[in-house]
Amino acid sequence: MFLVSFVSFFVWHSQFCGVYEVSSNTITCDLPSDPACNGQELTCDPGEECIVECTANLACQNSVINCADDYPCSIFFEADQTGLFAEINGNSATALTLETNGASSGASATINCPANPGLPGLITCKISVNANDGCDACRVRAETDDHHNVYVFLSANMNADRAMVEAFVNAVGADSVRLYSVAPDAFKSALVFCPVDGPVTKQCVIDMPSTDATESLLFASVYAVQGLNDFGVDGFIPNELDTGIFTLLCGEEYDESCQATYDAMIGDIVCLTEGGDPDLNHPCSAGASATESPSEEPTEEPQLMVRH
């Protein structure tokens, strides 16, 4: 059965034309390939915090989840592949949290971070991955001027190997992005577009405080207009940790690039020479000119929208 649990005493719902609406603060989809949720539109009721729980295999596959404006929105993918290809719309929520607790539970999902420019302070857009491949090939978007006060936090936790392998993260409009990992291969082969005009010097950072976070950036591509002035380490990283070699792109049109990795002697990310030594004179090391209209794209994604 489709279970709707609630805090308030009054609950009503209607289901028609593939749109499901609920006035309580919790929507629970608890059947495998749940017919009331799988491929359906799940719209949070306005005026209160919303929680969406997908607890069975494929229960929320291809679902569209719409958060309510001006309230927090929390989504839990608890079973394997439960949110495969789902679309999450943060709309103007005050915070969006997605937890993927089943293997591949958020694989290929699209997470559109909240856009609420009128809200003072930072809006958190957090993806917390707690199982292997939990957000494999997912897409995280915070790319417009309306995202100027959004803090994107991507967390690969224990037992979450390959947490965001081949993910696409477009955060050019956000204030800041943090990549956190205590698991191996967390952001392997991911594409990460850092904020273009955030309020801090290093607005796109990695935090990998465990030796288990091996090769977390291997084969990734990081787009940071000001190079290593924008992207670097924030927090403790063990000296023996190997983040893996990845590509860093910088410059007015992302037309400069280097192979980069974490260097324990320097204590930060460095560009590498062809011989594998730190290249402190590379344009991406020194910082390149910022741009408001980056044009080079690594994939067939739609044209990037950059705030200006």
Alpha-carbon distance of 149 to 120, in angstroms, equals: 8
Token couple for 101: 């607790």
Total domains, the chain = 1
Residue 25 lies in a domain: yes
Residue 197 lies in a domain: yes
The pLDDT of residue 198? 67
Residue 8 lies in a domain: no
The pLDDT of residue 199? 65
The 10s digit of each residue's pLDDT in 66-91 is 999 999 999 999 999 999 999 999 99
The 10s digit of each residue's pLDDT in 248-259 is 999 989 999 999
Q: Above 70 in pLDDT, residue 292?
A: no
Residue 248 lies in a domain: yes
Residue 198, domain extent: 13-286
Residue 294 lies in a domain: no
Q: Above 80 in pLDDT, residue 49?
A: yes
Ranking 168-182, 216-230, 233-247 by mean pLDDT, the lowest is: 233-247
Residue 304 lies in a domain: no
Helix, strand, or coil (residue 73): strand
CA angle 16, 19, 20 (to 5 degrees): 95
